[in-house]
C-alpha cells in the first residue's frame, strides 16, 4: 500500500476538472414561456410563418393538413457552431398517435415535414395564414389543445459535460482514474 494518504475530495475535483476540460460543450436550453408569440417568434404550436406564395404542408398519404409542432427562429438562439444565425426552422406533424412518423422508415416525411426558411422578410399576412390552417378536430391526437394555441420559447446559453450514460464515459473515466491514482490504489476496472 502506498504511504501517501489520498485526499478523495481533491481527487474528485481533479477528475471532474479533467472531464470538464475534455468534454465541456456550449449548449442552448429551450424554456417554454406562457405568452402568445408573434408570427416570427419561436413557439410550440400556433400560427407558423409562411412566406408569400408558400403553401400549407400536407400529409402525403392522407392529404390532410399537418399541424405546426415547433418553430425556431435562429435569430433568437444564442450562436452555436454549425447552426444557422438566422432563419426559421419548422416541424409539422400529423394528428395521429405517431404524429405522422413511419416507424419502419423514420426519415420518410409522408406524415410530417421539416421546413427551413433562411429569408423571413416577406411573410403572408396572419389572416391569410389562419385561413390556411387545419380545422381543429376534438378527436385529433396532438400535444396541444387547439390548432392555433401556442406557447413561446426562450433560449438560454448553457454548458454541458459528458453524461454518465454516454458510451464513451466509462473508458474516459477509467483512463482519468488510472492517471490520477497510484497503481496499488486501483481496484481492477474502474
pLDDT at 190 over 50: no
The closest alpha carbon to 47, from 67, 73, 76, 64, belongs to 67
What's the Cα-to-Cα distance from 177 to each of 25, 126, 187, rounded to whole Å?
22, 59, 11
CA atoms within 13 A on the CB side of 125: 3
State whether the Cα torsion 116-29-93-107 is positive or negative: positive
What pTM does this model have? 0.76
What three-state secondary structure class fits 21? helix
- The CA distance from 11 to 126, in Å, is 59
pLDDT tens string 69-92: 999 999 999 998 899 999 999 999
pLDDT tens string 102-150: 667 667 778 889 999 999 999 999 999 999 998 876 556 555 655 557 8
169: which 3 cell numbers?
A: 464515459
What three-state secondary structure class fits 167? coil
pLDDT tens string 172-185: 999 999 898 876 66
Residue 51 is classified by DSSP as: B
* pLDDT tier for residue 8 given thresholds of 50, 70 and 90: confident
Amino acid at each position: 500500500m502506498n504511504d501517501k494518504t489520498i485526499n478523495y475530495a481533491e481527487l474528485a475535483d481533479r477528475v471532474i476538472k479533467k472531464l470538464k476540460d475534455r468534454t465541456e460543450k456550449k449548449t442552448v436550453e429551450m424554456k417554454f414561456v406562457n405568452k402568445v408569440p408573434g408570427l416570427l417568434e419561436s413557439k410550440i404550436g400556433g400560427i407558423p410563418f409562411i412566406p408569400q406564395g408558400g403553401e400549407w404542408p400536407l400529409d402525403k398519404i392522407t392529404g390532410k393538413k399537418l399541424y405546426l409542432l415547433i418553430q425556431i427562429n435562429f435569430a433568437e438562439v444564442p450562436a452555436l457552431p454549425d447552426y444557422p444565425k438566422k432563419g426559421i426552422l419548422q416541424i409539422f406533424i400529423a394528428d395521429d398517435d405517431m404524429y405522422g412518423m413511419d416507424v419502419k422508415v423514420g426519415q420518410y416525411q409522408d406524415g410530417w415535414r421539416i421546413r427551413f426558411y433562411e429569408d423571413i422578410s416577406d411573410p403572408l399576412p396572419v389572416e391569410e395564414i389562419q385561413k390556411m390552417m387545419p380545422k381543429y378536430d376534438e378527436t385529433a391526437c396532438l400535444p396541444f389543445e387547439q390548432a392555433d394555441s401556442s406557447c413561446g420559447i426562450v433560449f438560454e446559453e448553457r454548458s454541458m459535460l459528458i453524461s454518465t450514460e454516454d458510451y464513451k464515459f466509462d473508458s474516459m473515466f477509467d483512463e482519468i482514474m488510472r492517471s490520477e491514482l497510484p497503481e496499488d490504489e486501483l481496484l481492477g476496472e474502474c
